[in-house]
Amino acid sequence: MPIEILMPALSPTMEEGTLAKWLVKEGDSVQSGDVIAEIETDKATMEFEAVDEGVIGKILVADGSAEIAVNTPIAVLLEEGETAADMSTAAPQAPAEASPPAAAVEAAPVGSSDQAAAPAPQHTGERVFASPLARRIAAQKGLNLTQITGSGPRGRIVKADVEAATASPVAAAPAPQAATASASPAPATKPALSSGPSSDAVSRMYETREVTEIPLDGMRKTIAARLTEAKQSIPHFYLRRDIKLDALLAFRSQLNKQLAARNIKLSVNDFIIKACANALQQVPAANAVWAGDKILQLTPSDVAVAVAIEGGLFTPVLQDADQKSLSALSAEMKDLAARARDRKLAPHEYQGGSFAISNLGMMGIENFDAVINPPHGAILAVGAGVKKPVVNEDGALAVATVMSVTLSVDHRVIDGALGAELLQAIVDNLENPMMMLA
């Protein structure tokens, strides 16, 4: 029976996407694991791989189609021996089969794409839906396909399902009950967030003025939703400090001269990342995130850094940043930033972390307040280093390069004194940069 290829959920927050480009055409043969399309999610452009083997019988959604809901059929795959005539025979059954995934879509934001696309098994004496490869492996292993839960589109059994059943055949049978039980509770309804005047009301307000209407893409919708939620649901408070940078700038200049032969050039931002990562280890209670009914305290220092791109921003995460050298952090940050601007980051590269950095100093901004990116416990807003008159410890007046920073803190996770302790550790690391190498 022809297989419908569905729009996948390629990230936990993805509800719809844009089919940017097909990499196959009708009539092409594909194997499981072949890349068949490029799909733009709410954050990135990602490759989409075939789950089954067969021939592309029909492409249902054209290149460049936007706002395609997750689990919408985008193509039809023909199995061995099937022809285009089989597609018309199978077509009347599609509406009846479409209902189980529709319920699963609602759960997609809190689970994986596999969970969202895997309804309970449909084995009730009718034909078992399985890929040819899965059937061959099952036959070789002597497995009963009716006892295996499929994770493919429409509950279809694929190679991974059979291999998992091979490793643990007894555990495969109870899966339908578990899937039904987990799907039964209705999702909690979030209170509606106030978003100001309606779209029509705003349009009427400017109907006599010349305007250009810019449709919202997936990234802008996600930014709007998450940051509105953040400001309305997170109890922010703000801690501000001035940091003297002269020792760091001198140390950085010395290091860059020595690293020039290796074509390495450290930025001030590299030192800031390292300072924050070390501070999270020095004040471990502040290395935490809000998890609804609990607080999760992280052991590693996973630091996110905001990267501006056309039409939005990414916050790629540098994992285990406290354990990496300045040169390693610099190289990793350059790579993540470049791929962020090309929208080529994988979800695991911009999800997670407990702490974020937003640096607008290179744009001449001296100070600002950043919005916490949930579920992070805090974010550091970094301003420009500016020469200012200062009073030294001996009381003498001098000129120093001073950088203003603001720590935005989630009061549910970090209290005032703990936030102050974290910020003090960051200041100490930046004003005494050689400490970060110890």
Task: Please say if 411 is a catalytic residue.
Answer: yes
Q: Among the options 236, 348, 376, 411, which is catalytic?
A: 411
Going by C-alpha positions, the residue among 4, 8, 38, 183 that lies closest to residue 112 is 8
**Catalytic positions, please?**
411
